[in-house]
Structure 1
Amino acid sequence: MLELNINNETSRLKAVVLGSAFSSGPTPKIEEAYDPKSLEHILAGTYPVEVDMVSEMKTFEEVLKKYNVTILRPQNIYNYNQIFTRDIGFVIGDVFVKSNILPDRERELGAIQFIIDQVSPNKVVRPPEEVHIEGGDVMLWNEHIFIGTYKGSDYKEYITARTNKEGVDYIKSLFPDKIVKEFDLVKSKIEARDNALHLDCCFQPVGRDKGIIYKNGFREEADYFYLVNLFGEENLFHITRDEMYNMNSNVFSIDSNVVVSERNFTRLNNWLRINGFIVEEIPYAEIAKQEGLLRCSTLPLIRE
């Protein structure tokens, strides 16, 4: 049996589901784009190709192996994108929550069912149908659970709005002992530089007391200041609009002092090193064209 244990984003990683770029299918049609950044690259003819994405994920896998992480991979679905495992489920404490994802992506959940089957059945939950929630919007910080959402009355019109109010309420009811804090995120269907697809597109903790943040990703300034007050201004690395677009907040922690980051994130990587982190720099810019990066490609199961 798998004894799940996830209480924050940065403790030593023991086991993770890493997505897969194998047989990821052709470039989507314009009407199949899930987000404005993918659409941008489809239109420009720069959408990533499988061989490059497989290569990038292999490098990520090698870094995880270097730190003796147990790596599980989804069963392969022919001609289908299975890179972003973060969307399809997440672990809080010792509970596996299956996401209610976009209907087209339900097959991705089936491809990791053999892993979920290794978890005690009473520790696996599936929210009711009206609950929308994806792992990219759920971030654990010890006694806190941070959740990205979108509170606009036009929620239903946004394919980029992935977690609703019912999703927040569901997590509150499931984990009454946690401090559940929701963050209303800026969404755009047409401009990727103004679209925080998930919470990890504009915020993520690193280490024991630090974080990466994009102020304009929050619809309410009070939500931004909540994090500033919690972490301290001096502990936050503020990213620019272009750095947010390039997914600088979507790095991945293997340990409280080890961060996997994209090799082009020069300013961020320097700040991390100055603050005592080991930075494992890897190429991931092709996968980033789909508005997802390192955190999006992982579904952590066990941390120390």
Structure 2
Amino acid sequence: MLKLNVKDETSRLRAVVLGTAENNGPTPTAEEAYDPKSLEHILAGTYPIEPDMIKEMDAFARVFEKYDVKVYRPEVLENCNQIFSRDIAFVIDDVFVKSNILPDREKELDAIQYVIDQVEPSKVVKPPEDVHIEGGDVMLWGNHIFVGTYKGSDYPDHITARTNIQGVEFLKQLFPDKIVKEFDLVKSKTEARDNALHLDCCFQPVGEDKGIIYEGGFRNPEDYKYLVNLFGKENLFHITRDEMYNMNSNVFSIDTNVVVSEHNFIRLNTWLREQGFIVEDIPYAEIAKQEGLLRCSTLPLIRG
């Protein structure tokens, strides 16, 4: 049996599901794009190709190997993008929560059923139909669960709005002892530089008391201030609109002092090293074209 344990974003990682870029399928049509950044690259003819993405994910897998992390990969489905395992499920404490994702991605969950089968069945939860929630919007910090959402009345029209208020309420009921704090995110179907697809596209904690943040990703200035007050401004690395677009806040922590980052994030990686972090920098710029990066590609199962 798998004894799940995830209480934060940065404790020592022991086991993880890493997505796969194999048999990724043809470049989507403009109509099939899930987000404005993918659409941009589809239209420009620069959408990433499978061999390049496989290479990038292999580099990520080698870092996990180096740190002796147990890595599970999804079963490869034909012509299916299975890179972003963070979308399909997440673990809080010892509970495995299946996401209610876009309907045509449901089969991605089937591809990790062999992992779910190793979890105590009473610890596997599937939210009700009206609850939308994706792992990229869910972040653990001490006694907090941070949740990205979208409170605009046009929520149903936004394919980029992935976690609804019912999702926030669901987590409050499931974890009554935790402080569930939602953040209203900026969404755009047409401009990737103004679209925080998930919370981890504009914020993520690193280490024991630091974080990476993009102020413009929050619709409500009070939500941004909440994090500044919690972490302290001096502990937050503020990224620019372009850095947000390039996914600078979507790094991934293997330990409180080890961060996997994209090797083009020069300004961020310099800051991390100055703060005493070991930065494992790898190429991931092709995958980033789909508005997802390192954290999006992972589903942590055991930390600590």
Gaps of 5+ in 1: none
**Which residue pairs with 1:185 in the alignment?**
185
Task: Give the 3-state SS of the residue equivalent to 1:260 in structure 2.
Answer: strand
Listed one character per residue, the Cα deviations across residues 130-189 of structure 1 (whole Å, up to 9, x for unaligned) are 000000000000200000000000000000000000000000000000000000000000
**Which residue pairs with 2:172 in the alignment?**
172
Residue 249 of structure 1 deviates from its aligned partner by 0.0
Partners of 1:194 and 1:104 in 2: CA distance:
25
Residue 242 of structure 1 deviates from its aligned partner by 0.0
Instruction: Tell me the amino acid that sits aligned with residue 177 of structure 1.
Output: D
Instruction: Tell me the amino acid that sits aligned with residue 20 of structure 1.
Output: T
Structure 1 residues 108-123: aligned runs within 5 Å:
108-123=108-123
Partners of 2:135 and 2:79 in 1: CA distance:
23
Partners of 2:8 and 2:20 in 1: CA distance:
24
**Which residue pairs with 1:215 in the alignment?**
215
Q: Which runs of 4+ in 1 moved over 3 A?
A: none
TM-score scaled by structure 2? Answer: 1.00
Residue 86 of structure 1 deviates from its aligned partner by 0.0
**Which residue pairs with 2:79 in the alignment?**
79
Are 2:2 and 1:12 equivalent residues in the alignment?
A: no
Instruction: Tell me the amino acid that sits aligned with residue 117 of structure 2.
Output: D
Listed one character per residue, the Cα deviations across residues 25-50 of structure 1 (whole Å, up to 9, x for unaligned) are 01001100000000000000000000
**Which residue pairs with 1:90 in the alignment?**
90
Are 2:219 and 1:203 equivalent residues in the alignment?
A: no
Task: Give the 3-state SS of the residue equivalent to 2:148 in structure 1.
Answer: strand
**Which residue pairs with 2:149 in the alignment?**
149
Listed one character per residue, the Cα deviations across residues 200-239 of structure 1 (whole Å, up to 9, x for unaligned) are 0000000000000000000000000000000000000000
Task: Give the 3-state SS of the residue equivalent to 1:90 in structure 2.
Answer: strand
Partners of 1:9 and 1:112 in 2: CA distance:
21
Instruction: Tell me the amino acid that sits aligned with residue 136 of structure 1.
Output: G
Residue 79 of structure 1 deviates from its aligned partner by 1.0
Listed one character per residue, the Cα deviations across residues 260-302 of structure 1 (whole Å, up to 9, x for unaligned) are 0000000000000000000000000000000000000000000
Partners of 2:253 and 2:88 in 1: CA distance:
19
**Which residue pairs with 1:277 in the alignment?**
277
Listed one character per residue, the Cα deviations across residues 74-133 of structure 1 (whole Å, up to 9, x for unaligned) are 001011100000000000000000000000100101101110010000000000000000
Gaps of 5+ in 2: none
Instruction: Tell me the amino acid that sits aligned with residue 152 of structure 1.
Output: G
**Which residue pairs with 2:27 in the alignment?**
27
**Which residue pairs with 1:52 in the alignment?**
52
Partners of 2:186 and 2:42 in 1: CA distance:
23
**Which residue pairs with 1:286 in the alignment?**
286
**Which residue pairs with 2:63 in the alignment?**
63
Instruction: Tell me the amino acid that sits aligned with residue 91 of structure 1.
Output: V
Task: Give the 3-state SS of the residue equivalent to 1:58 in structure 2.
Answer: helix
Partners of 2:72 and 2:269 in 1: CA distance:
27
Partners of 2:233 and 2:38 in 1: CA distance:
33
Partners of 1:281 and 1:34 in 2: CA distance:
27
**Which residue pairs with 1:128 in the alignment?**
128
Task: Give the 3-state SS of the residue equivalent to 2:280 in structure 1.
Answer: strand
Partners of 2:300 and 2:273 in 1: CA distance:
24
Listed one character per residue, the Cα deviations across residues 4-63 of structure 1 (whole Å, up to 9, x for unaligned) are 000000000000000000000010011000000000000000000000000000000000
TM-score scaled by structure 1? Answer: 1.00
